[in-house]
Structures are given as structure tokens and as C-alpha cells.
Amino acid sequence: MQELFSTLVEEDRPMTLAELAGSDRLADVCDQATVFRLLRRLADHGIVRRLGLHERAAYFTLVVPGKHSDYLICTKCGSIAAVDAPCPVHKLEEEIREKTGFRGLYHELEFFGVCPDCG
């Protein structure tokens, strides 16, 4: 599990199951099924989250407290890119936290469309 975690930290971007399983750290250590089981365990504990079109292209990224990323996801090829713009939801999140008393409040924002490569 340490090798999987280290790979996600070093890459600092969402990665597919195939990318993770084929990475230098993991390719000789475990197979794709094992990597998937480890990712599910990490997700169950809130350490990683699954992004993208879950039925086609899924990416996995670390959940880092205080770090936030929103994503653009292509509905044709499944590619994913971080949104390079201020998040419009942070202010709303703070307001909801103050009004409801929720602790550990967070949000995930994904935009779906067709990327320039797909047309």
C-alpha cells in the first residue's frame, strides 16, 4: 500500500488504474486487481477519491486536507484536467458550515463536456 500511496504523492495528478498498476513502483510488486483492491480500501477510508466517468474512465487522486481541485472531464474519451480557475463554491461552503454546524464539510466539483481533441 505504501508504494501506491507514494506513486500518487509523486505524480500529484489523478491517475487511472492502468497507469498506477503500470507505474515503476507497482508494476513488479502487484497486479492490477490488487491495485484496485488497495484503491478501494483507501477510498473507503477517505484517503483517495474516484473521479471521472465511472463506467468508462475512472481516475484516482489523493484526498489532501486543505488542498482542493476541480476537474474537467471529457464525456467522449474520458480525459481529465484540473480546472485552472478560482472555485466558486468555497464561499458557499463556508456559509453552509456556519449555518448548519457541519464539521469536515467539503465539496467535489466536476465539469463534464467534450474536450478539444474529441471535437
Listed by start position, the domains of the chain span: 2-113
Which of 24, 23, 19, 26 is closest to 60 using CA atoms?
Answer: 19
- The model's pLDDT over 58-75, given as tens digits with 9 standing for 90+, comes to 889 888 877 888 899 998
The three cell numbers of residue 11 are 505524480
The three cell numbers of residue 39 are 484503491
- The model's pLDDT over 82-92, given as tens digits with 9 standing for 90+, comes to 998 888 888 89
User: Out of 1.10.10.10, 3.60.15.10, 3.90.1150.10, 3.10.300.10, which CATH number does the structure's domain 2-113 have?
Assistant: 1.10.10.10
pTM: 0.77
